[in-house]
Amino acid sequence: MAILLSNDDGITAFGLQALSDAVATLDEIWIVAPDRNQSAVSHALTLQRPLRIEQVGERRYAVDGTPTDCVNLAINGILPQRPRLLISGINHGANLGDDVTYSGTVSAAMEATLLGVPAIAISQLGSEPFDFGTAVQFVHQLAATVLRDGIPADTLLNVNVPDGAASRIKGFQLTRQGKRRYSDAVVENVDPRGKKYYWIGGGEADFVAAEGTDFSAIHSGRISVTPLHLDLTNYVSLQSLQSIQIRFP
Amino acid sequence: MAILLSNDDGITAFGLQALSDAVATLDEIWIVAPDRNQSAVSHALTLQRPLRIEQVGERRYAVDGTPTDCVNLAINGILPQRPRLLISGINHGANLGDDVTYSGTVSAAMEATLLGVPAIAISQLGSEPFDFGTAVQFVHQLAATVLRDGIPADTLLNVNVPDGAASRIKGFQLTRQGKRRYSDAVVENVDPRGKKYYWIGGGEADFVAAEGTDFSAIHSGRISVTPLHLDLTNYVSLQSLQSIQIRFP
């Protein structure tokens, strides 16, 4: 049995090294991570081309694919047996609110969940160079807890750690996923040959202030732990739509 | 006001043309779609490089990015005003159960939902060459209904159409998202230079038989309509985890 680590910032990221250091004493560590930055690739799976796996150290592999590819190949092929736990991160930056649907970090944990392996995604707020000290301390304790007690089936834990020294963090809070407020954030530019190109994003991150959300926990200086699942059904709408009138056939 | 169309099979796909024909009489149609096949790219957003937009016809644009990029650029830049509705598809193949988390088709609808635009994702089961006749008929009626009555906020409709002639389809059913049963589906091979490579997938699609799911509707010859949202919080686990004991700080 072992702990599998992955991320979306790529195998050379400092956050992944910090994660490895954090949990090294808990069990045998295997790392299978993208060979380059794969941020915002979401739950993308590579089906159109074959994948290459390069061994880059003892129990350490780089894949020319997405975080989802890495976790799939690790669990279905690279590891000699199923891991006890997958941890993805430590991401360089937040994965809060609706943004989890874009996140490569969270998607690695989704893939493990789909394959029946308990999973944690962990992200550090702030900016480069990130201080992973608090996240390292917390993820060690959280992983130890999960290895001992388990987590509910079909559930992953999405962890976000506020910026700042551990001494200033006011503990952790179990939260629900918050909502982002999106802005028109496309930047248009012109290349040296006079052709237009476009950048997505760049708008300020803004969120709907609401009690009990991941955003509000971070805002009040707490580590946010959100249990996520992969059932996207809106059960409230499923009820309200029963009266829908569609002329078919 | 207009209807925006996108997909993940690319701007030249027959399914997109069929969709355009299906809803052409309802409102002005704008198409913004990937310039090539982007299946299984999930909700990936391109942040690491700029995007190019090529106009390929009247109100018709190809983007060198993902379905999510297309919908974001369309709503935040290309269209002169917000569309009344986004429809993504008709996908060449199913988007059922947990597979919606991988789906480019569904993710295009997610992006519209995040940007406050009502959205439908529609997928046709079967194999190439697909017969989109039933899907065309149904999506026309469904779109007309949504334009007239709206859909609940923050909700998209994920539609899957069984293979077969419209006359054999037994109506439609409102469903919840089912669960796939995953198999060890990595195929190893060796290239002409003796280096190994790997393909993900290829295992038989199998699912947990359960009443009221998208899978069971399709299995019984009905069109499945699943209301999805982007709140991944597992509220049941959020309750049960209140007793979690983590030694921190």
Chosen from B101, B158, B242 to mutate, greatest number of chain A CBs within 10 A: B101
pLDDT at site B222:
96
Report pLDDT digits (tens) over A37-73: 887 777 788 888 899 999 999 999 999 999 999 999 9
B48: confidence class by pLDDT, cuts 50, 70, 90: confident
Contact B115 A182 (CB under 8 A): yes
- Residue A130: which region, alpha, beta or left (left: phi > 0; alpha: psi -120 to 50)? beta
Give the pLDDT of residue A167.
Answer: 85
CA A100 vs. chain centroid, Å, equals: 7
Residue B23 pLDDT exceeds 80? yes
Does the pLDDT value for residue A182 go beyond 80? no
Q: Is the pLDDT of residue B203 over 80?
A: no
Nearest to B242 among A51, A174, A236 (CB): A174
Peptide bond connecting A249 to the previous residue in cis, omega within 30 degrees of 0 = yes
Instruction: Write the pLDDT tens digit of every residue in B137-160.
Output: 999 999 999 999 999 999 999 999
Give the distance from residue B81's alpha carbon to the nearest chain A alpha carbon, in angstroms: 12
Minimal Cβ distance to A200: which of B51, B201, B245 = B51
Q: What per-residue confidence (pLDDT) applies to B184?
A: 63
Does residue B204 surpass a pLDDT of 90? Answer: no
Q: Report the alpha-carbon distance of residue B137 to residue B125 in Å, rounded.
A: 15
| Contact (CB<8Å) B41/A37 | no
**Cβ contact B233–A169 (<8 Å):** no
Cross-chain CB nearest to A200 (options B72, B229, B244): B72
* Residue appearing with tokens 């054999």: B168
Helix (H) or strand (E) holding A111: helix A104-114
Residues in B closer than 8 angstroms to A145, CB to CB, are: 244-246
> Which residue out of A72, A231, A232, A243 would a mutagenesis test of the B interface target, given it has the greatest number of B Cβ atoms within 10 Å?
A232
pTM for the model stands at 0.92
CB atoms within 10 A of CB B2: 16
**Which chain A residues are Cβ-neighbours of B237 within 8 angstroms?**
151-152, 155, 227, 229
What is the average pLDDT score of chain B? 92
Q: Where are the beta strands (DSSP E) in chain A?
A: 3-6, 29-34, 53-57, 60-63, 85-92, 119-124, 156-161, 172-174, 180-181, 186-190, 196-200, 206-207, 223-228
* Residue A245 confidence (pLDDT): 86
What pLDDT sits at residue A204?
61
| Per-residue pLDDT, A247 | 85
Domains observed in chain A: 3-180+209-243 (3.40.1210.10)
Quick check: B47 and A200 CB within 8 A?
yes
Contact B202, B208 (CB under 8 A): no
Distance from CA of A80 to the nearest CA of B (A): 13
Query: Which residue from B231, B237, B248 is facing A138, i.e. has the nearest CB?
Result: B248
Which residues pair with residue A215 across a beta bridge?
none
More confident residue, A168 or B237: B237
Residue A37: list chain B partners with CB under 8 A. 48
List the single best residue of A233, A239, A242, A245 to mutate versus B (max B Cβ within 10 A): A233
pLDDT surpasses 90 at B164:
no
